[in-house]
């Protein structure tokens, strides 16, 4: 019978104690507990300092580096790095960032976790480290000391049995504390359901509006562009039909009709590309971004380290984020160069778009990013913009996906 692969320490425990002890999870649990002692000690020192210096107001913001580290440390217990659940602020700037963060419940759950980590969870991590490492080391030293001092080798067997028991006890204690600590961290550091209801409702409403606007745009482009070209083409061919007795005039009209047909095809091609580019469907994200580079008037450096084709929703969203960012750069940034880089790490697609322009980009000023935020949020991703006055501008997209 095939053995089911486990992806977390908790699954390994549930699969059976012996399977857990014979796997890599005890060492990873020990690493999680011991690193928790270090981070908890730093938190115990850092938290009172931030409370005093920030008069409690800036404390939730000051603990963000420690919280980000905790989300990364959870990878030791399996399940990957916990994604940042915070939403992108509506406007750039520190005030908007603080207002957005402080209005989210997850920010206060982060503060609660930090307080727990600096107190009760730190004490548990220290106790588990002592039991998991200290007792076996003391037992080993005691065993060697007794054997060397007494010279009675027959004492080795019972001492080894005692030492084995201490190691087993230590591994069980470490596993219990590590799993308990990590589950509390996942509970408090991830976005809760109560925070997702309102954003999802707002995102759906904005997406419906965006789809309606897009439908009207396509209808208008067809009416004002390709349809007019086709009407003109029909009239030109009709005139050519009337000039059958004048070959030269008919030839001129046929040539004109050919130009009108090519123009109409080009407009239809551009319109379809705006909906979903064919190259993205056929060849994937790197080829589609390379096609964008061909039409970009600025020097564009592309570095995409992708393991293969990505889910179509992730590819499409990433493409339109890059396309919108490049359009904004060309129109507003006054940049001399632009760059796009991306990779897949821990089943998360990360795309960075930057330029050396004047900065000052604001999603609320009609840059087109607000609609993309809803599209990214619908896939559980994040879109972060940094564009101080004077530049540079950087846009980071993070999308969960499986290559």
Residues in the chain: 403
CA dist 54 and 354 (Å) reads: 33
**Is residue 214 scored above 70 in pLDDT?**
no
The three-state secondary structure class of 386 is strand
pLDDT, the chain, mean: 79
Report the alpha-carbon angle 217-220-226, nearest 5: 120
Protein fold of 280-400: Heat Shock Protein 90 (3.30.565)
**Is residue 224 scored above 60 in pLDDT?**
no
pLDDT single digits (tens) 314-351: 888 888 888 888 888 888 888 888 899 999 887 888 99
Q: Where in the chain is the domain with CATH 1.20.5?
A: 197-275
Residue 58: band (very low, low, confident or very high) from pLDDT cuts 50, 70, 90: confident
CATH of domain 197-275: 1.20.5
The three-state secondary structure class of 339 is strand
310 token code pair: 């990505």
pLDDT of 228: 63
**Is residue 239 scored above 60 in pLDDT?**
yes
Strand partners, 304: 342
Sheet holding 393-400, edge to edge: 300-305, 338-345, 348-355, 393-400, 382-386
**Is residue 402 scored above 80 in pLDDT?**
no
pLDDT single digits (tens) 259-291: 877 777 766 666 655 566 777 878 888 888 888
Pair 271, 222: CB distance under 8 Å = yes
Q: Where are the alpha helices (DSSP H) in 151-246?
A: 156-189, 193-221, 227-242
**Is residue 116 scored above 90 in pLDDT?**
yes
User: What is the DSSP secondary-structure string of 275-316?
Assistant: H--HHHHHH-HHHHHHHHHHT-SS-EEEEEE--S---HHHHH
Pair 323, 355: CB distance under 8 Å = no
pLDDT single digits (tens) 163-198: 888 888 888 889 999 999 999 999 898 876 444 444
Q: Where in the chain is the domain with CATH 3.30.565.10?
A: 280-400
Residue 346's CB is within 10 A of a number of other CB atoms, namely 12
| Radius of gyration of the chain from its Cα atoms, rounded to whole angstroms | 31
User: What is the DSSP secondary-structure string of 341-358?
Assistant: EEEEETTEEEEEEEE-S-
**Is residue 111 scored above 80 in pLDDT?**
yes
Pair 178, 29: CB distance under 8 Å = yes
Higher per-residue confidence, 318 vs 55: 318
43 token code pair: 């938190």
pLDDT of 152: 67
Residue 203: band (very low, low, confident or very high) from pLDDT cuts 50, 70, 90: low
């Amino acid at each position: 019978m095939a053995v089911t692969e486990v992806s977390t320490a908790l699954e390994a425990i549930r699969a059976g104690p012996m399977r857990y002890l014979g796997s890599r999870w005890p060492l990873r649990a020990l690493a999680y507990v011991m690193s928790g002692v270090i981070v908890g000690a730093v938190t115990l020192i850092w938290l009172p300092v931030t409370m005093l210096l920030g008069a409690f107001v800036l404390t939730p913001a000051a603990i963000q580096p420690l919280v980000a580290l905790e989300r990364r440390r959870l990878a030791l217990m399996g399940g990957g790095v916990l994604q940042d659940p915070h939403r992108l602020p509506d406007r750039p700037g520190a005030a908007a960032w603080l207002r957005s963060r402080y209005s989210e419940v997850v920010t206060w759950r982060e503060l609660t976790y930090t307080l727990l980590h600096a107190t009760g969870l730190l004490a548990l991590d220290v106790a588990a480290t002592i039991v998991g490492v200290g007792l076996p080391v003391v037992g080993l030293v005691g065993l060697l000391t007794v054997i060397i001092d007494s010279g009675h080798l027959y004492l080795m067997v019972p001492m080894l049995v005692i030492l084995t028991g201490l190691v087993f006890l230590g591994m069980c204690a470490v596993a219990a504390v590590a799993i308990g600590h990590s589950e509390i961290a996942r509970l408090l550091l991830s976005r809760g359901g109560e925070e997702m209801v309102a954003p999802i409702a707002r995102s759906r409403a904005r997406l419906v509006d965006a789809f309606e606007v897009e439908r009207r745009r396509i209808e208008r482009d067809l009416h004002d562009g390709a349809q007019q070209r086709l009407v003109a083409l029909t009239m030109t061919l009709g005139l050519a039909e009337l000039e059958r007795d004048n070959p030269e005039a008919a030839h001129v009209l046929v040539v004109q009709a050919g130009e009108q047909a090519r123009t109409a095809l080009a407009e239809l091609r551009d319109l379809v590309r705006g909906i979903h580019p064919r190259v993205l469907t056929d060849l994937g994200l790197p080829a589609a971004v390379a096609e964008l580079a061909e039409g970009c008037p600025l020097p564009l450096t592309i570095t995409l380290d992708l393991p293969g084709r990505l889910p179509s929703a992730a590819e499409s969203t990433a493409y339109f984020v890059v396309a919108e960012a490049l359009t904004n750069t060309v129109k507003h940034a006054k940049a001399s160069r632009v760059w796009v880089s991306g990779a897949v790490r821990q089943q998360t697609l990360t795309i960075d778009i930057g330029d050396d322009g004047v900065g000052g980009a604001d999603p609320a000023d009609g840059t087109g990013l607000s609609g993309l935020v809803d599209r990214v949020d619908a896939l559980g991703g994040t879109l972060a913009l940094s564009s101080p006055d004077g530049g540079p501008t950087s846009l980071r997209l993070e999308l969960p996906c499986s290559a």
